[in-house]
Structure 1
Amino acid sequence: FIYDLNKNNYLSIFRFFFLSPKNKNIEYSSGEVIMVDLIAKLIKFKDADISKSNIVFFLDEVELFLHPQWQKEYLSYFLNILNFIFPTKKITIVITTHSPFILSDIPKENVIFLKNGEQVEALNKVQTFGANIHTLLSDSFFIRDGLMGEFAKDKINEIIKFHELIKPDNADIKTLKSEYEDKQKRFWQTQSIIGEDYLKQVVKNHLVEIEKILLGKDEAKQNEIARLRAEADKLASSI
């Protein structure tokens, strides 16, 4: 809608959001406030009648308080506004960001990676423009040790490590069996809520092997049959 609005329309939007008595009791999201405030500041800057033909904008951590969808659209939105309000100016934009959503709109030639205030040369080969968000997130510059939350990873690793405990020939099966019986319900509950299908199956395989060793193959088989029946009943009730 940017190209259909004139300066007065922008000011009307600003007044509607912040000055109209009718809107005093309306709670706007932080993202809405930031975006409207951005328009207002640019118009105010325009009104200052800057004579210089070259303008530099510094935007520090622009993604703060913005929903991921707004982060994804921010740069396009901002550039449209600039082109509308400053059609004759030569503009340079300097952005600092931690958001891969913002970064995916910027060519790598225009990106400087910083860590502790120092440029990270090893990351200069990272392709940013049009890059998949998950690809950027998985880069060690953004997130170390994968994309899974630490709490979930700890819960899954607890199951895997317990399986490792019962593998040695000299493992204290009696003690471990008692410990497993205390943790059995929690372990299987963790497995049931894993969102990634492959990982969910891997964790299930660990649990099945644990039960075969600690409970015996027959009991492990009966437990699996009971779980499958419970899943079938749940599926039937949802149809």
Structure 2
Amino acid sequence: MKINRLCIYDIENRPLLKGLNLYFGTRLNDNNASANCFIGVNGAGKSQVLEALSEIFLFMDNLYRVENPLPEKYLLSPFAFKIEYEIVFEEVLHLVVFECDKVGGKLKDVDFSIFIKNDEELQQIDISQISLINFIPAKITGYTSGANETLSLPFDSYYDHYAEYTWNRAKNINDTADHSKIDYDPRLYFMNYNTNLGITITSFIYRDDFPEFQLILDTLNINELKSFVITIQTLPPTRRNGGVIFTPELEEWRQKLINIADENIVDEKHQKNTLKFNITDETRIAFKDNFSSALELYTCLYKLELLNNLVVDKATREKLKKERADRKLLTKMPIVSDINKVMNYSELKLILNNKNRSEIDYLSLSDGEHQFLNVFGTLLMMNQDNCLFLLDEPETHFNPVWRRTFISTLERITHNRKQDIFITTHSPFIISDSKRENVFIFKKENEEIIVDNPSSETYGATFDNILKMAFEIVPPISENSLEEIKKLQHENDPNVIQEELENFGDSLEIATLRNRIILLKSKDQK
């Protein structure tokens, strides 16, 4: 898929975005998913655009999802907008135009138009007899590098509703043998520190399916996953009014994990299984015999983890649901302690790629190493077409060497995929590997967002030029040293300048001072 255009007409909770009109171009036929890169100062709206995109597709999913439909009173648009994107369905390229003309709009206030796109000609199709859910991105994946409380909120809302549905479905089946409802896979995935463990486990088990995974291992100097533990319980210690009931699908998956595990420690009191896995060739074969793909295994782990929300008492969950419906978006679900989680990871051990094949606990990895595994492991695993990735500062904890290779690594992983990627960043490394038309500079002036493509080509540009275009930093020197250099530029004694030069590293400004010394000395000799 490829998003071509985003227009925001009116928006209440993020007024900075009102009137925003962004055109991203058309690059769906490229050999890889070229990333749209947002750069600019903090508070200029970059992350807010990612959140707006996630809210749009959450709204569309809520409107057209067949399984687990929302009550009509919750089917409200987050803002007034128009979005255009290309998507492939049954190997045919389609252009989708979706518009909602009012804040809090319902189905009657939206327009969903679909066109077949062939040789740049558009032919509108009749949507009355087709399933519109097929023309929404297959997966929307969000990632944030820190405690960004905004991008995660649309995903949190989705998870809460999903967990509640799973509970009700399991309870109804148990009580009434009603099998009319079905389990379904999530469309929205949010990646954070906890999900990273599932991504790491899945990536290592299915490493032979992803040749590019070796690039990640070489970068991190890791040889193999040695072992890990998964704990699954349906009667957490603080759970009131009974335990968590699994749907048939989740129960089947739990039994598969039990069968694959090398050791199963049972705690009858809490209906808990502590499953220990040692990674061998036989273990990988067992996982692949039970789970058809890496994404299916990860979805199993992900769904089990989403049930941790059910440990929170019902009154709190209902309160959060109402506040979100009233657009009080800063409310988050309380954090569940490890001892009370329905599903929890622990004791994940890795083997380093050194002479002694040293063993290291996953928790001992640096923030940058965790982030590297999380970001690129997610991209590897979500390998189907029509996926959308919303990555908020995905390289924050990277060292300069890793930042320098970020785009090239991303392009190797997404080669020949029909996907779209949005990245926010402050890094010149990212921008220097991106074409001008893929870069969007965000600035905030008089409480308004101004977004423009760079004034000149960014691909291969020096950091000096990028910092000037994106942040108006001229020259690219920190403030204290620059102030001292400016003072020396007005000094008339060449000996004073010469003495002070020893305090500075090389730069164009220092070269200018050396020239000033020569000029001043030549004047003294006349």
- Give the TM-score band, short-chain normalised: 0.5 to 0.7
CA-CA distance at 1:55 after TM superposition: 0.9
Aligned position for 1:202: 515
Tell whether 2:336 aligns with 1:126.
no
Aligned position for 2:378: 41
| Structure with more contact order per residue of length (Cα contacts < 8 Å, sep ≥ 6) | 2
CA-CA distance at 1:27 after TM superposition: 4.7
CA-CA distance at 1:70 after TM superposition: 1.3
Show CA shifts across 1:61-114 (max 9, x none).
22311122211210111222233xxx6x52011111222211122222222221
Map 1:75-224 onto structure 2 (within 5 A).
75-83=407-415, 89-116=417-444, 118-121=449-452, 123-137=453-467, 139-163=468-492, 188-194=498-504, 195-196=506-507, 198-202=511-515, 204-205=517-518
Aligned position for 2:225: 15
Q: Contact 1:60/1:95 (CA < 8 Å) preserved in 2?
A: yes
Q: Contact 1:112/1:124 (CA < 8 Å) preserved in 2?
A: yes
1:159–1:130 Cα change, 3 Å: closer
Could you tell me the TM-score, scaled by structure 1's length?
0.57
CA-CA distance at 1:59 after TM superposition: 1.3
CA-CA distance at 1:206 after TM superposition: 7.9
Aligned position for 1:169: none
1:43–1:201 Cα change, 3 Å: closer
State which structure, 1 or 2, has the greater radius of gyration over its C-alpha atoms. Answer: 1
1:140–1:40 Cα change, 3 Å: closer
Residue from 55, 58, 77 that aligns with 2:390: 58
Show CA shifts across 1:105-157 (max 9, x none).
22222222211262344x543211232333323x2423423112222222222
Q: How far, CA to CA, are the matches of 1:34 and 1:201 in structure 2?
A: 43
Q: How far, CA to CA, are the matches of 1:157 and 1:16 in structure 2?
A: 57
Q: Contact 2:464/2:475 (CA < 8 Å) preserved in 1?
A: no
Tell me the secondary structure at the aligned position of residue 118 of structure 1. Answer: strand
Q: How far, CA to CA, are the matches of 2:514 and 2:381 in structure 1?
A: 58
Q: Contact 1:31/1:65 (CA < 8 Å) preserved in 2?
A: yes
Q: Contact 2:458/2:466 (CA < 8 Å) preserved in 1?
A: yes
Tell me the secondary structure at the aligned position of residue 90 of structure 1. Answer: coil
Q: Pick which of 89-98 and 200-209 moved more.
A: 200-209
Tell whether 2:361 aligns with 1:24.
yes
CA-CA distance at 1:42 after TM superposition: 3.8
Q: How far, CA to CA, are the matches of 2:210 and 2:409 in structure 1?
A: 19
Which has a greater percent of helix? 1
Q: How far, CA to CA, are the matches of 1:8 and 1:55 in structure 2?
A: 17
Aligned position for 2:208: 6
Which has a greater percent of strand? 2
Q: Pick which of 105-114 and 14-23 moved more.
A: 14-23
1:134–1:158 Cα change, 3 Å: closer
Amino acid at match of 2:208: N
Unaligned ranges ≥5, structure 1: 47-51, 167-183, 218-239
Aligned position for 2:400: 68
Q: How far, CA to CA, are the matches of 2:437 and 2:418 in structure 1?
A: 19
1:96–1:75 Cα change, 3 Å: same
1:153–1:208 Cα change, 3 Å: farther
1:97–1:8 Cα change, 3 Å: closer
Tell me the secondary structure at the aligned position of residue 411 of structure 2. Answer: helix
CA-CA distance at 1:162 after TM superposition: 4.8
Q: How far, CA to CA, are the matches of 2:224 and 2:382 in structure 1?
A: 15
1:103–1:39 Cα change, 3 Å: closer
Amino acid at match of 2:373: V
Q: Contact 1:155/1:190 (CA < 8 Å) preserved in 2?
A: no
Q: CA RMSD in A?
A: 3.8
Q: Contact 1:58/1:95 (CA < 8 Å) preserved in 2?
A: yes
Q: Contact 1:192/1:200 (CA < 8 Å) preserved in 2?
A: no
**Alignment length (residue pairs):** 177
Q: How far, CA to CA, are the matches of 2:385 and 2:210 in structure 1?
A: 23
Amino acid at match of 1:105: D
- Regions of 4+ moved over 4 Å: 8-14, 43-46, 205-209
CA-CA distance at 1:43 after TM superposition: 5.2
Q: How far, CA to CA, are the matches of 2:471 and 2:514 in structure 1?
A: 28
Amino acid at match of 2:225: R
